[in-house]
């Protein structure tokens, strides 16, 4: 009964690791973004996408998705609805 399930420990660790990065994005959303023109070409916005990607995918995969999204946000890039993809199940460690 004292043993916690491994996936619970993994999820808890993932949340602790991604939390500071989510705080940085939240800071941007509240302190910087209101003073800049709204130019995001995607829905959800890049900052919302980043938070969701970090929560769903973790730091590395979510961070990579966020960077790809931010770098594609330019006049010649894509636009429209672009949700965070669902996490692929890992055969070794399942969420």
57 domain residue, yes or no: yes
48 domain residue, yes or no: yes
Boundaries of domain holding 58: 18-26+43-72
53 domain residue, yes or no: yes
Specify the pLDDT at position 30: 96
The segments of the chain whose pLDDT lies below 50 read 1, 91, 95
Per DSSP, the residues of 21-75 read HHHHHHHIIIIIGGGS-----EES-HHHHHHHHHHHH-HHHHHHHHHHHHHT-ST
Mean model confidence pLDDT for the chain: 85
End-to-end Cα, the chain, rounded Å: 21
59 domain residue, yes or no: yes
Which of 57, 68, 58 has the alpha carbon at shortest distance from 18? 58
66 domain residue, yes or no: yes
Count of domains for the chain: 1
Backbone dihedral angles phi then psi of residue 69, each to the nearest 5 degrees: -65, -45
Tell me the pLDDT tens digit for each residue of 71-84.
998 888 888 999 99
Specify the pLDDT at position 1: 46
Please state whether beta strands 80-81 and 42-43 pair in parallel, antiparallel, or not at all (unpaired).
parallel
How far apart are the C-alpha atoms of 49 and 22, rounded to whole Å?
11
């Amino acid at each position: 009964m004292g043993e916690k399930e491994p996936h619970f420990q993994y999820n808890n660790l993932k949340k602790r690791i991604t939390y500071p990065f989510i705080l940085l994005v939240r800071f941007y959303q509240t302190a910087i973004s209101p003073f800049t023109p709204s130019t995001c070409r995607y829905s959800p916005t890049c900052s919302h996408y980043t938070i969701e990607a970090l929560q769903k995918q973790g730091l590395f995969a979510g961070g990579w998705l966020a960077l790809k999204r931010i770098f594609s946000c330019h006049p010649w890039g894509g636009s429209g609805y672009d949700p965070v993809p669902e996490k692929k199940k890992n055969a070794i460690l399942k969420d």
